[in-house]
Amino acid sequence: MSATELTINELGGQGDGVANHDGQPVFVPFTAPGDRITAAVEATRGTLISLLAPGETRALPPCPHFGPDGDNAGCGGCSVQHVGMDLYAEWKRGLVVAALKSRGIEIDVAPLVPAKPGDRRRVVFAARRAGDGAVLGFNRAGTHEIVNIETCAIATPRIVSALPLFKALAAQAAVAPKPMQMGVLDTQSGFDIAFEAPFQLKENDRLRLVAAARKAASVARISFNGETLIEKQPPQLDFGRVTVTPPPGAFTQASADAEEAMAALVMKHMKKAKRVVDLYAGCGTFSVRLAESHITHAVEGFAPAMNALDRAMRRMQGLKPVTMEIRDLARRPLMAFELKNYQGLVFDPPRAGAEFQCREIAKSTIPRIAAVSCNPATLARDLRILIDGGYKLKSVTPIDQFLWTPHVEAVALLEK
């Protein structure tokens, strides 16, 4: 395969540079607009061979693991550390703009609410056994190869400083050669570590892992495939005034700052509502904040998350009433007639979105809707349903909590 000289014109949706070659786009990782390069081209993919001349948008990556020439090259955790932050912010905002336009939605999308390096409190590592120890890091892009890391530019300083500990614990848990995931949540009371693996631990394995955890003062809890092995103290997160202990491996927002930014937009929009329903409520990220001034009904399909919210609310005084319902909204969305007593509605679904639920919301008379999403494509689809049902889209704000990746949150506010 011969080297081809290319000029990068723009960033693609996954953060690859895009050039034109023989009338078709070629996507080249680790390149920036304006770069003049040589690359090995196969169909629409290019592999960077050399950088002949950098473009003006190119920046020095802050992490030694990033890029084809980095330490343990291309760890796969980030894809766009190599561009300046101005271009990065506009590119990420553009992902939301493009998704909305694909559904015929025209609105002046707000500037990106930025993320900061060292802000990610929730990180999911890949790990596997390696000799007497373990390799821990991220999968190289497009492969199952785990790239071992010694630092991380996105994770909180506490997570970075504890990487040797996590590798030691992974070595105890990696009793089979198959790779596993190690979720780490940096909470007020210590690390909440959740292993997910395609194998089980024997009793001696469990005892070794528990013994290693007992020696680590910074570990609050360890679970394996959903089962709590040790909880030295409950992992704690503050949602507004309420302290919640999430269940093992439960969804939480990856960044505390991003969570606060989303909550502020939601709370402002719900200000005039007396009763609010919070759909896909999780452990109560928005519910507990809403309860400071609104009668709130929280609906969530994952029972342990609802139970965590219930326990937290029982310990808290001075809030408005919060009722809770365990319900799979994908299978049984709240019907329009069930929504008639609410003046505000918040929904924050998984990446698949809330299509069937939005069809019912569109039939309702709820005056105010706040839609929170981690997937611009399904958000745009759901907003189209609501707009066609008589809602007016007032604003869309993209929020970055997955720095240097193509993933972007957004909060959309609507009125009937």
Write out the binding residues for S-adenosyl-L-methionine. 253, 280, 300, 348
Q: Which two tokens stand for residue 198?
A: 């395609």
| Rounded distance between C-alpha atoms, residue 299 and residue 254, angstroms | 21
CA dihedral 241, 243, 249, 255 (to 10 degrees): 40
- Nearest by Cα to 246 from 204, 294, 188, 175: 188
Backbone angles phi, psi at 96, to 5 degrees: -70, -45
Beta sheet of 122-130, edge-to-edge order: 146-148, 133-139, 122-130, 180-187, 190-196, 219-224, 227-231
Q: If residue 307 lies in a helix (H) or strand (E), which one and from where to where?
A: helix 303-314
Report the candidate in 89, 12, 90, 7 with the shortest Cα–Cα distance to residue 54. 7
**Structure tokens belonging to residue 32:** 């920036």
SS3 assignment, position 393: strand
SS3 of 298, please?
A: strand
Residue 100 identity (one-letter amino acid): L
Strands annotated E in 165-311: 180-187, 190-196, 219-224, 227-231, 237-239, 242-244, 275-279, 295-300
**CA angle, 158 then 401 then 88, to 5°:** 115
CA pair distance 409, 396, nearest whole angstrom: 10
SS3 376: helix
Is residue 322 classed exposed, middle or buried when 0-12, 13-18 and 19+ CB atoms within 10 A define those classes? buried
What residues are annotated to the active site? 374
Numbered residues of the known binding site? 253, 280, 300, 348
Query: Do the Cβ atoms of 235 and 189 come closer than 8 Å?
Result: yes
Angle at the Cα of 225 from the Cα atoms of 219 and 230, rounded to 5 degrees: 30
